[in-house]
Amino acid sequence: MSDTAAAHEAPTSTGIDHKKLIMWLFLASDCMFFGTLISTHLLYRKLFPAGFTDAEGHQRFIQDLFSIELTSFSTFILLMSSFLMALAVSAMHKGQVKSFRRNVLGVIVFGLIFLGCQVFEFTHFYHKGLTIQNSVLGSTFYVLTGTHGTHVAIGVLWLILLYFYSFTGKLGGHMGALDVEVAGLYWHFVDIVWIIIFTAVYLVEYLGPYGIWGSGLPAVVK
């Protein structure tokens, strides 16, 4: 809520807490942010469906690169972290700080697993020849998924700080629950964005034998 303690008791005009409202506004803005990044990636996929050329001059296809099993796993992990986040928020609303800590620790670990998968993925793709510098695909892919990864990393950092803050005993009551809920809103949003990225950047490449952009190799050739 606001910086003024008087406002703690004073009801807001809408009945929505200031902190919650401002997080919703930020998320609205962030929608446009990711919308622009995803559009950039999709526009370039449509323009250059052929993938990229690696350092040896070989034409490479995006399906050669992706490990859909790994990405599906990390997507699942991120989804489950959202589930734990919901439990953490609920625990805080009930004033169960210990349950909150357990669940939020789970979110942090799952978030770190997701980030680890992304680091592995980036390294793997880099060694397969996709760099930020050698193609438009590399630029859009790394910047889009990297920006999302940055969001996750900020979320993890935030939750780690909340986790340790809960030991000071100051995270409690309505304000404490609100602080956790606002962090939860952010976390769920970042999760939802990943569902969209996973669909638009990864899954559609596997639609039909040639991918949605009509570029991929038929499964048999692979």
Partner 1 sequence: MSHDSHHAPVACKTELAPERSDLGLYRPDRATGWTDWLTTVDHKKIGILYGAFAMLYFLIGGVEALAIRTQLARPDNDFVTARMYNQLFTMHGTTMIFLGVMPLSAAFFNFLVPLQVGARDVAFPRLNAFSLWTFVFGAFVLNASWLFEFGHLAGWFDSFAWHKALVYTDFAPANGWFSYAPLSGTFGANGQALRFTGVGTDFWIIGIQVLGIASLAASFNFICTIINMRAKGMTMMRLPVFTWMALVTSVLIILAFPAITVALIELMFDRAFGANFFNPSAGGQPVLWQHLFWIFGHPEVYILVLPAMGIVSEVLPTFSGKSLFGYPIIVFSGAVIGFLGFAVWSHHMFTTGLGPVPTAAFSLLTMAIAVPTGVKIFNWLGTIWGGRIRFTPPMVLALGFIWMFMCGGFSGVMHSSAPADSQQQDSYFVIAHFHYVLLGGVLLGLMAGLYFWFPKIFGRMPNAPVAYLGSALVILGFNLAFGPMHYLGLAGQPRRTHTYHAGNGWETWNYVATIGAYILGIGVVIVFGNLVWTAFRGKKCGSDPWDGRTLEWSLPSPVPEYNFAQAPVVATRDAFFEHKHGAKKIGLENDGGEAGVHMPSQSWMPMVASAGFLFIGFGMPMMAMGIPHAGWLVISGLGVLFLGIWLWALEGPGGYMLKTPAPSGAPAPAETVAH
Task: List interacting residues with partner 1 (CB under 8 A).
Answer: 2-6, 8, 10, 12-14, 16, 18, 21-22, 25-26, 28-30, 32-33, 35-37, 40, 43-44, 47-48, 131-136, 138-140, 143, 147, 161, 170, 175
Q: Which is nearer to partner 1, 10 or 195 (CB)?
A: 10
d(CA 178, CA 175): 5
> For the purposes of burial, counting CB atoms within 10 Å of the CB of 216, is it exposed (0-12), middle (13-18) or buried (19 or more)?
buried
CA atoms within 13 A on the CB side of 139: 9
Task: Assign 60 to helix, strand or coil.
Answer: strand
Residue among 30 and 64 whose Cβ is closer to partner 1: 30
- Please report how close the Cβ of residue 84 comes to partner 1 at its closest, in angstroms: 23
Q: Per residue, what are the HEC states of 114-152?
A: HHHHHHHHHHHHHHCCCCCCCCHHHHHHHHHHHHHHHHH
Nearer to partner 1, 67 or 215 (CB): 215
Closest CB to partner 1 among 44 and 73? Answer: 44
Indicate the helix (H) or strand (E) that contains 205. none
What is the rounded distance in angstroms from the CA atom of residue 86 to the CA atom of residue 183?
Answer: 11
Minimum distance, C-beta of residue 178 to partner 1, in the bound complex (Å): 12
Q: Which helix (H) or strand (E) holds 49?
A: none
Cβ nearer to partner 1, comparing 4 with 69:
4
CB of residue 48 vs partner 1: minimum separation in angstroms?
Answer: 6
- CA-to-CA distance for 104 and 88, rounded, in angstroms? 6
Find the shortest distance in angstroms from Cβ 89 to partner 1: 18
Closest approach of partner 1 to the CB of residue 47, in Å: 7
* Residue 19 CB, nearest approach to partner 1 (Å): 9
- 138 and 132 Cβ atoms separated by less than 8 Å: yes
Shortest distance, position 34 Cβ to partner 1, whole Å:
8
Closer to partner 1 by CB, 132 or 217: give it: 132
Instruction: Please choose, from the candidates 113, 114, 111, 86, the residue with its C-alpha nearest in 3D space to the C-alpha of residue 100.
Output: 86
Which residue, 87 or 182, has its beta carbon nearer to partner 1? 182
**Cα atoms in the 13 Å half-sphere on the side-chain side of 206:** 12
